[in-house]
Amino acid sequence: MSVLDRIKEIDKEFEAEAGKDITAAGLDGMRVKFLGRKAELTGILRSVASLPADQKKDTGKAANMLQRKISERLEEMGKRLAEEKRRDRDEIDVTMPGIAASPGVPHPLTQVMDRINDIFVSMGFIIADGPEIETEFYNFEALNIPLDHPSRDAFDTFYIEGEHLLRSHTSNVQIHLMQNTRPPIQAIMPGRVYRPDAVDASHSFMFHQVEGLMVDKGIRFSDLKGTLSGFCGAMFGKDTKTRVRPHFFPFTEPSAEVDISCIICGGKGCRVCKSSGWLEIMGAGMVDPLVFEKVGYDAEKYTGFAFGMGVERIAMLLYGIEDIRFFYENDIRFLGQFK
């Protein structure tokens, strides 16, 4: 068989395959078969130079024309396949079942923090914010926490470089606020805090706090009790009882722990409240005069109170959650319960 006859046979083979239903993968196979480096037609084009002089012109012309024809046909077939794919994608089968929407919801900690903020804002408090990377002055010294206090040890605080650290409470915001604002002050400070605690069911190295501060002339401990009693009733239910117990904090004097009647058993005694009928929820007290001296307030003229609570602690009580780690694991089965 002459080379010209073989070119005609290749043309017939191509037409036969091109007339079939072809897929994208099949189209790539045809391109390799008829136009690839090892294709027979490619070999013929390479051998034209070695043919006798009287055959070169006709053979070269026929081979080049077939190569151009195959290339153009394959390009057309590719465009047709792409158009069919686009059309199939755009078509909507109204008989198919719909895809159920799964809208996201705020994280449970966000919901609880927003609820806490809303209650205090309704009482006339503003929301203040401050840096999470802090100096020892704002995190310790201005709050009357001495150098030998255990909380200043590297085992209890994330030190970064020099005097800089990750704040271990949001009390630092109180100092910034008092330095830049003259009384009266009535503010809460929500935010993240950091302590190098070993992670377990009740501890995390990062958690959330909401602290509060009120400073003015004539602020008394009874104002503190009334404010926190109102908050606990709004947060946990109007029948919730509160009590304060003597305690010690370096930055308040007198200091107290605040308890509420157990929201699980109603104060009768259960496993959650360890049969006491009470649950500890926050620390509080009257601002120590030494703190006022650090920010330039006249302790003879002004008094104030401060309080602080853990958001995770409140959320665990509200929702009956026994392991703090659930809040940080991003398990959609857990988070989906708080719609």
My answer on whether 168 and 259 are in the same domain is yes
When pLDDT is cut at 50, 70 and 90, the band that residue 298 belongs to is very high
pLDDT, position 227: 95
Q: Which of 57, 90, 123 is the last residue of a domain?
A: 90
When pLDDT is cut at 50, 70 and 90, the band that residue 143 belongs to is very high
My answer on whether 273 and 184 are in the same domain is yes
My answer on whether 20 and 83 are in the same domain is yes
> Is 205 a member of any domain?
yes
| pLDDT higher than 90, residue 112 | yes
3-state class (DSSP) for residue 231 = helix
> Is 196 a member of any domain?
yes
My answer on whether 129 and 21 are in the same domain is no
> Is 307 a member of any domain?
yes
My answer on whether 74 and 209 are in the same domain is no
Burial of 91 (0-12, 13-18, 19+ CB in 10 A): exposed
My answer on whether 152 and 301 are in the same domain is yes
Mean pLDDT across 152-174: 87
My answer on whether 198 and 329 are in the same domain is yes
Domain tally, the chain: 2
> Is 47 a member of any domain?
yes
- Per residue in 120-141, pLDDT tens? 999 999 999 999 999 999 999 9
Residue 185 φ then ψ, to 5°: -125, 135
Mean pLDDT across 164-176: 94
My answer on whether 129 and 239 are in the same domain is yes
Domain of residue 46 covers 3-90
String of DSSP letters for 284-327: EEEEPHHHHHHHT--TTT-EEEEEEEEHHHHHHHHHT---GGGG
Q: What's the CA gap between 63 and 11, in Å, rounded?
A: 10
Non-local CB neighbours of 80 within 8 Å, separated by 6+ positions: none
pTM, 2 dp: 0.68
My answer on whether 39 and 176 are in the same domain is no
CATH number of the CATH domain containing 299: 3.30.930.10
My answer on whether 155 and 297 are in the same domain is yes
When pLDDT is cut at 50, 70 and 90, the band that residue 219 belongs to is very high
The H or E element containing residue 279 is strand 278-287
My answer on whether 203 and 296 are in the same domain is yes
Instruction: Write out the two tokens for 228.
Output: 């926190």
